[in-house]
Structure 1
Amino acid sequence: MENKKFLVLLQDQNASALKKVEREFKVSLTSSEELSSTNKSYNIINANNGVVYKNLGVAVMDEVDMDQLKSAVNNDRSPVVYFEEERDFFAVNEMNLINDLKVKAAELSSMVAELENFLIKKPLVQEALTEMEWGLKAIGIDRAQFTGKGIDLCILDTGFALSHPDFADRDIVGKSFVPDEVWEKDPYGHGTHCAGTAAGNVRSDTGKRYGIAKDCNLKIGKVLSNKGKGTTSGIIDAIDWALEHKFRIISMSLASPVKLNEKPSAIFEAVGRKAMENNCLLIAAAGNDSKRPAVPAPVASPANCGSIMSVAAIDSQMHIANFSNGGINSAHGGNINVCAPGVDILSARPVKEGANSLYTLMKGTSMAAPHVAGLAALYMEKFPDLRADKIWELLESTAKAIQNLKYRDIGSGLVQFVP
């Protein structure tokens, strides 16, 4: 039987329970309390050592036999109640869609090259800039007198370009959960774009606004590599870190596709509940696997968990984005909760040699999720006594239904700031 890395949900994590796990699997478990900038989980986890994330009740172990795990789950005396194999997650933005097309349809290569050239190299003109303000107006930010002041908002993504001039006066804290890569650089650009939408302010060159919660305390967890790829264990590690520091909002513009009728991850479901208990709201992109109108795809992981807010994407014409996943697995979990702007979204991009713009346009449910995260920060500032579950309820109850769009696709509707 092949040995693989697994995430294990524990019934209890007291000393006696952990000793049972160590004896049963012949592994030494390190508590996340002992992790630091020099003692990182990905350097610890191997055939002989695992990590227990104390805020989540989840352990990660490598080279464990699946049959042994199955036996433990079926043993009432074992602390192990569930396990799942680690899976890959990806940034859910337009560039991923393009890369899929490159593999599946070589004849589209010229179109892909042209679009990539626009996204990466072409400076934005004033007409495009004006259009890009549609997303903030659509969710009512022009009516908001709040800025997210005092709210800890965490972006789990590909890192952040700390050198971006729009954030020069911000005290930004971060940590990398990707081996040999730092959080304060973002060659991929995805995390910087998402952070800009949720927590940016105005363009340094024109003064036009593109961000929502400009005075929030921006936190960065690098869980996706410089190529836009990550794993379950890295994301779990980062969420545990965020809860340890009592961050109020975690935005995840990442996804792993799921199959029709596939049940949500019990690991992420438990993690979402733990976060809510710790007064933290988890928000995730619904995924970009659909080929609408013919073939909508189910909400991806981890957004398909009932304890994590799932965000779909719409365009400026109030149409569901053709790539945006929908709640077609609802019988097994996987509903859309709300929708937000996710097509032709203007935000920050890393400073790149030879590039003559600090901003770019992107689309994806990745772009929609940080709109909701930024809005949540405004509501948390406005209603400081509301806990995370009530903020979730507020986001849904104030969302605006969109004519001719199905609940399956947009949930309660387009998120709104209501004064």
Structure 2
Amino acid sequence: MVNFARRSLLKGLAAATSLSAMGVASAADGRDQFVVTTRGGNAERRLEAAGATVLDSIAGGRVLLVAADSATTADVNGVRSVDPNRGYRPVGPAKRSTEESLDEDFAAIQWDKQADTTGAFEAHDTATGDGRDVAIIDTGIDTEHPDLRNAIGRGQLFRADGVVSPDGGPRVDGDVTVPARLPDGPEIASYVYLGAPAIREQAAGDDVDSHGSHCAGIATAKHDDTSAGEDFGIAGMAPDAEVVPLRVFYWKELAGYPYDMDDDGEEESVTVTTLWTTDYDILAAIDYAADIGVDAANMSLGGGVVKGSAHNTGEHVAYQTVIQSAVRRGTVVTTSAGNADADLQHEGYYTLPNSVPGSISVSATGPNNERVFYSNYGTSDIDVGAPGGGYETLEKTLADDTDWPYPLNLVYSTVPPDLNDGTAYAWYAGTSMAAPQVAGLVALLREVDPDLSAKRVQSIIENTARFSRGKSSADLGAGVIHAPSALDRASK
């Protein structure tokens, strides 16, 4: 019999990467923000002439952040689409089952890096990601964790409302000190935050949650560190690669949110504090990752499952434009497939950004290399599988009689001690944990051959993956990534 509290815990855990829409971002003057895609040319000038304000531009001017009184800017010549700059919050908690981290050498419990899964430890005899870099588009990365080689000076905070920017713009350099609001009012749903005080000063690229640091460790945690002693902590997929924090989540106070019903059945609006991001924040981070030439940009985030016709929306066009632009410039984009246990193969269902052609969409697997119970699937959307934690069913995940009993079947990685009651490592699960495995593998391949194009890197990863029947599995796509085979192929 499954304990109810543990059942609820895993349901929340499996929702870690999902985003829930929460209205539209506003500019400093109170006007709504829009994400505008253009056909190039003089679209920016024409938008300004029509009374709109262009706040930011990416992808060579083909995607803009615009403040306007309405979406009527769609009528401007040269404009392809106009969509609200939608805001999102994470659905459900992202952290689970932390423990003390004073003991050294956690490699023995890293099933996700062992020979019968990704083979990362074996691959480190050939490459460790030396001289390569991975960007984590997420909640930031802990700047002081001894297991993370954090390139904070190359990082950025993307915040479309410009609230903490010195110049009021939508981005802040990662090493600039900014105020970070922590929740001090009613929160939406059951999101748990372990930090205090309500406001603190920190680097713009520093973690405000823990999720980003956990993804960073999976991709790039150092296996040893002279300041902490030999065999300290865990080993990432690319332990000698740099990790660049591109923070797109920030705590935001929202007034008038429809939170609940009062005793009379009337909708009650409250002011809430929640983690928040917008479409443009994410798009700008992808574009910036390509601008600075990182080898891989990882997005362990995504919207909910939507249906067919939304493929034609401006939102989809914007993501496709920016992701494909990044890939052309050499940055491999890795994305989590989502945690809704949804079939993305039939009836036109899809999720953003992983369903966009050009990104490597990653499903989550367990210690037995099978798709886990929460991971989305579908041959049209899944490129490869990688360790995300858990088993094929919730009951098996929580069972005590498996080779890797709970929580050992989850993925162990780095978290900020100051946000986790002094704990520096934690067990998480989700497709969030699967995608950075692939991002780290990109860094290994680029160490072996720096001239590999983004498309060639993806081809090697897919063609050397394992455990997929016919290389077109709805669960695993081309299969579970295998680092030694990929490096062998790249070296030839």
Aligned length: 360
- Distance in 2 (CA, whole Å) between partners of 1:168 and 1:325 is 31
The alpha-carbon deviation at position 253 of structure 1 amounts to 0.8
Q: Can you list the C-alpha shifts for 1:326-365, whole angstroms capped at 9, x where unaligned? A: 238x4xxxx1111100011111110227835311000011
Structure 1 residues 79, 376: closer, same or farther in 2, change over 3 A? same
- Residues 249 and 281, structure 1, Cα contact 8 Å, conserved in 2: yes
SS of equivalent to 2:147: helix
Out of 57, 62, 75, the residue aligned to residue 71 of structure 1 is: 75
Matches within 5 A, 1:13-162: 14=41, 16-24=42-50, 26-29=51-54, 50-55=55-60, 57-66=62-71, 68-72=72-76, 78-89=77-88, 96-98=91-93, 119-120=97-98, 122-123=99-100, 129=106, 132-137=109-114, 138-144=117-123, 145-162=126-143
Contact persistence 1:187–1:350 (CA under 8 A): no
| 291 and 270 in structure 1: CA distance in 2 versus 1, 3 angstrom threshold | closer
8 Å contact from structure 2 (residues 141, 150) kept in 1? no
Name the residue aligned to 2:170.
Answer: none
Cα distance in structure 1, aligned partners of 2:374 and 2:46: 46
Partner of 2:405: none
Which residue of structure 2 lines up, in the alignment, with residue 217 of structure 1? 242
Measure how far apart 1:135 and its partner are.
0.5
Superposed, which structure 2 residues align to 1:154-173 within 5 Å?
A: 154-167=135-148, 173=154
Structure 2 residue aligned with 1:271, among 293, 318, 322? 322
User: How far off is 1:246 after superposition?
Assistant: 1.9
Between the aligned partners of 2:332 and 2:61, the Cα distance in structure 1 is 14
Once the two structures are superposed, what CA deviation does each residue of 1:192-221 show, in whole Å capped at 9, x if it has no partner?
Answer: 010111111237586353312122232111
Displacement of 1:20 in angstroms is 2.0
The Cα of 1:57 is off from its aligned counterpart by 1.7
Deviation at 1:399, TM superposition (A): 1.1
- Offset, 1:286: 0.9
Q: Distance in 2 between matches of 1:272 and 1:316?
A: 31
Q: 1:175 to 1:354 in 2, by over 3 A?
A: closer
Question: Does the C-alpha gap of structure 1 residues 354 and 348 become closer, same or farther in structure 2, counting only changes over 3 Å?
Answer: closer
Structure 2: segments with no counterpart, 5+ residues: 1-23, 25-30, 165-179, 181-202, 252-273, 390-409
Query: Where do 5+ consecutive residues of structure 1 fail to align?
Result: 30-49, 73-77, 100-115
Change in 2 beyond 3 A, CA 1:245/1:407: same
What secondary structure, in the 3-state scheme, does the structure 2 residue paired with 1:119 have? Answer: strand
Specify whether residues 244 and 388 from structure 1 end up closer, same or farther in structure 2 by C-alpha distance, changes over 3 A only.
same
Contact 1:291 1:297 in 2 (8 A): no
Kindly provide the amino acid, as one letter, of the partner of residue 217 in structure 1: E
Instruction: Output the CA distance in 2 between the equivalents of 1:254 and 1:368.
Output: 11
RMSD between superposed Cα atoms in Å: 3.2
Q: In the superposition, relative to structure 1, how do residues 298 and 316 fare at CA in structure 2: closer, same or farther (>3 Å)?
A: farther
| TM-score normalised to structure 1 length | 0.77
| Cα distance in 2 between the residues matched to 1:10 and 1:391 | 30
- For residues 320 and 297 of structure 1, what CA distance do their matches in structure 2 show? 21
Distance 1:272 1:11 in 2: 16
1:197 aligns with 2:223: no
Q: Higher strand proportion, which one?
A: 2
Residues 1:185 and 2:206 aligned together? yes
TM normalised by structure 2 equals 0.66
**Structure 2: how far apart are the matches of 1:400 and 1:285?**
19
> Given the superposition, is the C-alpha separation of residues 316 and 131 from structure 1 closer, same or farther in structure 2, using an over 3 Å criterion?
farther
Equivalent position SS for 1:19? helix
Q: Aligned in 2, Cα 1:56/1:405: closer, same or farther, shift over 3 Å?
A: same
**1:244 and 2:248 are equivalent in the alignment:** no
1:11 match: 39
> Distance in 2 between the 1:57 and 1:84 partners?
14
Structure 2 CA distance for aligned equivalents of residues 155 and 253 of structure 1: 8
More helix by share: 1
Residue 392 (structure 1) aligned to one of 458, 464, 469: 458
Identity %: 25
Where do 1:353-372 residues align within 5 Å?
Answer: 355-372=421-438
Give the drift of 1:169: 8.6
Q: Which amino acid aligns with 2:434?
A: A
2:369 corresponds in structure 1 to: 318
Q: In structure 1, how many angstroms separate the alpha carbons of the residues matched to 2:89 and 2:478? A: 26
